[in-house]
Amino acid sequence: MTTVDEHTARILAAVAPTRARRVDLAHAHGCVLAADVRATVAVPSFDNSAMDGYAVRAADVADTSAQTPVVLPVEADIPAGPGIPVPLRPGAAARIMTGAPLPAGADAVVQLEWTDAGREAVAVHQAPRRGLHIRRVGEDVKPGSLVLSAGTVLGSAQIGLLAAVNVARPPVCPRPRVAVLSTGSELVEVGSPPRPGQIVDSNSHAIAAAVRECGGLVRRLVGVSDDAGAFIRSFYEVLAEVDAVVTTGGVSVGAYDVVKEVLTGAGSMRFDHVAMQPGRPQGFGLIEGVPVFTLPGNPVSALVSFDLFVRPALARLRGLPATGLPTLEVTVGTALRSSPGRRSYIRVRLDGPGPDGRYGPRPVAHPVAAQGSHQLTSLAAAQALLVVPEEVTEVPVGSRLTALLLGADSGSILSGMGWTDADVTDDR
């Protein structure tokens, strides 16, 4: 048997980030920047007013006060917009709006609230210091400076910054396009009533959702039957169009295990028994250079396998460090057993440490009911997967173990939520 760590290492040694390309900002959102971006422009690109008010020479109003205000003639009106304002004459003021270019000669902006808001002439009640309310050229971004470094995830602020420095198509690692293909002659598509012996295909939807949570674009294939010809057609057709393939089912030792039958010997595919529970039969390899993950068919095994093996690989494909689920240290609150020689992933809910501090400061893990590999209710109810090491068979109350946190990225801005299957062919 292969260990979880060996199987993971073999996968990560084979996957590399998607090939960098330039995409427009909407498609860059949530992607990882593939190269440093340096500014070719200054931001702001011209001196401008930070307030609605009056552009003045500070020296002209240095002696003003509320009791004896200095009054200046208003010689121009400068809204935000294109154009170069006429220079400000000494002893005059120009009405100016936020974001409007500062006229040459002005060295301060008096905010509206410090004046009588006059149109022909303005009385200034308070003296501004030189430079007040002026945004100088380049005070946010200097030309030539590093704006964002390679490896940065492009969220809303980063997208805004790229636009501000006029980068319309940043270089990114495009979101990986992932084909999700479930196999099983018993499968029907959700929404159709299953006939006797049939079940609804839940894996392809669960895995598709997991791929989106990892920031991937999904191409979901409706359940493929356990027929070698049908599987070969679906598999090789989609292989040419994607950056990774995830299949479920058909990899155990039974007859009609079509995935294993067809893909044995293809590319660098290897089918292993991994020392884990749930999810023993696993396959991985590169076929025509594309990473192919063949996960077991039981719904919990499929998702747990995804979290352990596909998730870090998709992070790597996206250009991120190949990390899996976040880990946390927990105290076990209910005694449990685990099979020898296999690393167990037990579905648990987490309680707070509790007021008496009996278990120390860590969250307390309790297994949820129904831990069978086919029982999705428990995975849906669990907040974490408790990791019980291979050699441990008895876990007494109070044991300290590591758990993998579930659901941390559902709904994250980094996820590919909102994309539809059709988007796979779009300009990513």
Question: C-beta of 395: minimal distance to ligand AMP in Å?
Answer: 27
What lies within 8 Å, CB to CB, of 193 at 6+ separation is none
- State both tokens at 359: 């278990």
Decide: is 305 part of the binding site for ligand AMP (CB under 6 A): no
Distance (Å, whole) CA 343 – CA 334: 18
- State both tokens at 219: 């191409």
What is the bridge-based pairing of β-strands 364-367 and 394-395? unpaired
Tell me which DSSP letter residue 43 carries: B
Distance (Å, whole) CA 107 – CA 421: 56
CB of 206 within 8 A of CB of 303?
yes
Residue 203 interacts with, from Mg ion, ligand AMP, none (CB under 5-8 Å by kind): ligand AMP
Residues paired with 182 in a beta bridge: 248
Residue 202 interacts with, from Mg ion, ligand AMP, none (CB under 5-8 Å by kind): ligand AMP
| Distance between start and end Cα atoms, the chain | 40
Question: C-beta of 187: minimal distance to ligand AMP in Å?
Answer: 5
Give residues 245-264 in contact with Mg ion (rule: CB under 5 A): 249-250
Identity of the residue, 182 or 331, whose beta carbon is nearer to ligand AMP in the bound complex: 182
H or E element that contains 74: strand 70-78
Decide: is 186 part of the binding site for ligand AMP (CB under 6 A): yes
Tell me which DSSP letter residue 141 carries: B
- Select the residue interacting with ligand AMP from 8, 49, 152, 203 (CB under 6 A): 203
Distance (Å, whole) CA 87 – CA 195: 83
Give residues 292-311 in contact with Mg ion (rule: CB under 5 A): 297
Burial class (CB in 10 A: 0-12, 13-18, 19+), 90: exposed
Decide: is 283 part of the binding site for ligand AMP (CB under 6 A): no
Residue 81 interacts with, from Mg ion, ligand AMP, none (CB under 5-8 Å by kind): none
Distance (Å, whole) CA 100 – CA 96: 6
Q: Which one of the spans 17-25, 179-187, 395-403, 410-418 is the region binding Mg ion (CB under 5 A)?
A: 179-187
Question: C-beta of 408: minimal distance to ligand AMP in Å?
Answer: 24
Distance (Å, whole) CA 316 – CA 235: 23
Residue 85 interacts with, from ligand AMP, Mg ion, none (CB under 5-8 Å by kind): none
Burial class (CB in 10 A: 0-12, 13-18, 19+), 101: buried
152 φ/ψ angles, rounded to the nearest 5 degrees: -75, 135
Question: C-beta of 152: minimal distance to ligand AMP in Å?
Answer: 37
Identity of the residue, 250 or 278, whose beta carbon is nearer to Mg ion in the bound complex: 250
Q: Which one of the spans 71-79, 181-189, 343-351, 398-406 is the region binding Mg ion (CB under 5 A)?
A: 181-189
Question: C-beta of 305: minimal distance to ligand AMP in Å?
Answer: 11
Tell me which DSSP letter residue 201 carries: -
Decide: is 184 part of the binding site for ligand AMP (CB under 6 A): yes
Identity of the residue, 284 or 359, whose beta carbon is nearer to ligand AMP in the bound complex: 284
Identity of the residue, 358 or 374, whose beta carbon is nearer to ligand AMP in the bound complex: 374
Identity of the residue, 202 or 327, whose beta carbon is nearer to ligand AMP in the bound complex: 202
Decide: is 184 part of the binding site for Mg ion (CB under 5 A): yes
Distance (Å, whole) CA 80 – CA 98: 7
Q: Which one of the spans 30-38, 262-270, 293-301, 403-411 is the region binding ligand AMP (CB under 6 A)?
A: 293-301
Beta sheet of 270-273, edge-to-edge order: 217-224, 177-183, 244-248, 290-295, 281-287, 270-273
- Select the residue interacting with ligand AMP from 8, 18, 158, 204 (CB under 6 A): 204
Q: Which one of the spans 12-20, 129-137, 179-187, 272-280 is the region binding ligand AMP (CB under 6 A)?
A: 179-187
* Sites of contact with ligand AMP (CB under 6 A): 182, 184, 186-187, 199, 201-204, 248-250, 252, 254, 296-299
* Sites of contact with Mg ion (CB under 5 A): 184, 249-250, 297
